[in-house]
């Protein structure tokens, strides 16, 4: 395709005709020539927005874009309503690629009952692979908004599912051939399938009802980065039991193979939460079929301790996500 806006004929065929999921709150949605979306909210509801790009992988970008954005909204206690997407394509892109990306978006929207309410598609020479930037729209009742900075000293720290599941799935897909040469096919397929665990929308809804004080989606920088950000936002310290942090064996072995630190690996699908009663929160999540673990507590002061038996270390400022190393490492 030529550099510039995606042609209107392609926009209609490959984008607009793929979008079917609707929300009654959306008054103006995706359409040729429309610059804005309009969403009607009730007088007692808060409008919640978030934005994120997908740059770490070219696999399942459309699906990842929606899930990651929905997770951010859910971490605020909000119900995800819709997404606006900016899709930047290299000149080598063909119409089938555009259609595939939008079909992935629509599939994820259907799973989460969200609507793609607008966006922008453009071909540009400044990118060498597709780039998707997403703005998410959500709603929450007044008084139910949850923030990353709501944790208090004495609160318990809980995480859902397992750390590193997003990064593990991406690596298994990006490095499939190399991993098949090292691990059984069933092992690699299981790791690839971790993308089915990416949504934290269900656990966020349960946590809000259970009485959560703070939530933070564990994304770039992994669990260590998320813990640092939560503590800094809340102005508290941490005492975290390293051995209590849940991790799948597939993540352990793939990270060992690529010499990655799983605690600094992108981890969408894992929600970090704090609660005055972490054991109750874990029970509520487990009763709903969502694996959850109590991994520590919030403390007075600003020290962010990681306890490994009798050894004590301290969290450092978030570093570059470990995922990016796979593009320069072996395999």
- Band (pLDDT 50/70/90 cuts) for residue 135 is very high
Look up the CATH architecture of domain 148-327: Alpha-Beta Complex (3.90)
Report the pLDDT value the prediction gives residue 300, as an integer from 0 to 100: 96
Residue 108 in this model has a pLDDT that exceeds 60: yes
Mean pLDDT value of segment 244-261: 97
Predicted confidence band of residue 327 (pLDDT cuts 50, 70, 90): confident
Is residue 33 predicted with pLDDT exceeding 80?
Answer: no
Is 304's pLDDT higher than 90?
yes
The whole-number average pLDDT for the span 282-304 is: 97
Structure confidence at residue 34 (pLDDT): 65
| pLDDT attached to residue 17 | 93
Candidate from 14-28, 89-103, 264-278, 279-293 with smallest mean pLDDT: 14-28
Q: What is the pLDDT of residues 169-222, one digit of tens each?
A: 999 999 999 999 999 999 999 999 999 999 999 999 999 999 999 999 999 899
- Quick check: 329 pLDDT over 60? no
Per-residue confidence (pLDDT) for residue 64, from 0 to 100: 92
Tell me what pLDDT residue 280 has: 97
Choose the weakest-confidence range: 30-34, 143-147, 196-200, 252-256: 30-34
CATH 3.30.1330.10, the chain: domain bounds: 4-141
331 pLDDT more than 60: no
- Of 51-60, 61-70, 105-114, 253-262, which range is least confident? 51-60
Question: What is the fold of 4-141?
Answer: 60s Ribosomal Protein L30; Chain: A; (3.30.1330)
- The pTM (predicted TM-score) of the whole model is 0.87
**Class of residue 16 by CB neighbours under 10 A (exposed 0-12, middle 13-18, buried 19+):** middle
Q: How confident is the model over 161-175, as pLDDT tens digits?
A: 999 999 999 999 999
| Higher pLDDT among residues 72 and 52, named by residue | 72
Positions of CATH 3.90.650.10 in the chain: 148-327
Quick check: 144 pLDDT over 90?
no
Span 80-105, average pLDDT: 94
Does the pLDDT value for residue 151 go beyond 90?
yes
């Amino acid at each position: 395709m030529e550099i510039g806006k995606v042609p209107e004929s392609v926009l209609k065929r490959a984008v607009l005709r793929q979008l079917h999921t609707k929300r009654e709150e959306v008054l103006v949605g995706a359409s040729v020539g429309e610059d804005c979306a309009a969403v009607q909210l009730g007088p007692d509801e808060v409008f919640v927005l978030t934005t994120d790009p997908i740059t770490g992988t070219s696999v399942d970008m459309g699906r990842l874009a929606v899930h990651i954005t929905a997770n951010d909204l859910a971490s605020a206690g909000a119900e995800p309503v819709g997404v606006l997407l900016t899709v930047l394509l290299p000149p080598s892109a063909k119409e089938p690629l555009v259609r595939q990306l939008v079909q992935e978006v629509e599939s994820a929207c259907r799973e989460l009952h969200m609507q793609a309410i607008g966006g922008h598609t453009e071909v540009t020479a400044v990118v060498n692979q597709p780039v998707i930037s997403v703005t998410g729209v959500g709603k929450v009742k007044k008084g139910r908004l949850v923030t990353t900075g709501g944790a208090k000293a004495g609160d318990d720290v809980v995480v859902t599912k397992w750390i590193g599941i997003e990064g593990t799935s991406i690596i298994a897909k990006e490095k499939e051939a190399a991993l098949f040469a090292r691990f059984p096919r069933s092992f690699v397929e299981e790791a690839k399938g971790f993308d089915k665990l990416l949504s934290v929308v269900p656990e966020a809804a349960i946590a809000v009802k259970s009485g959560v004080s703070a939530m933070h989606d564990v994304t770039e920088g992994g669990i260590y980065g998320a813990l640092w950000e939560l503590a800094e936002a809340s102005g508290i310290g941490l005492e975290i039991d390293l051995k209590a942090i849940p991790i799948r064996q597939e993540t352990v072995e793939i990270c060992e193979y690529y010499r990655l630190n799983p605690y600094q690996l992108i981890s969408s699908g894992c929600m970090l939460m704090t609660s005055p009663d972490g054991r109750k929160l874990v029970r509520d999540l487990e009763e709903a079929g969502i694996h959850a673990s109590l991994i520590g507590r919030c403390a007075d002061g600003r020290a962010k301790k990681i306890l490994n038996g009798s050894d004590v270390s301290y969290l450092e400022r978030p570093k570059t996500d470990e995922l990016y190393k796979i593009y320069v490492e072996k395999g």
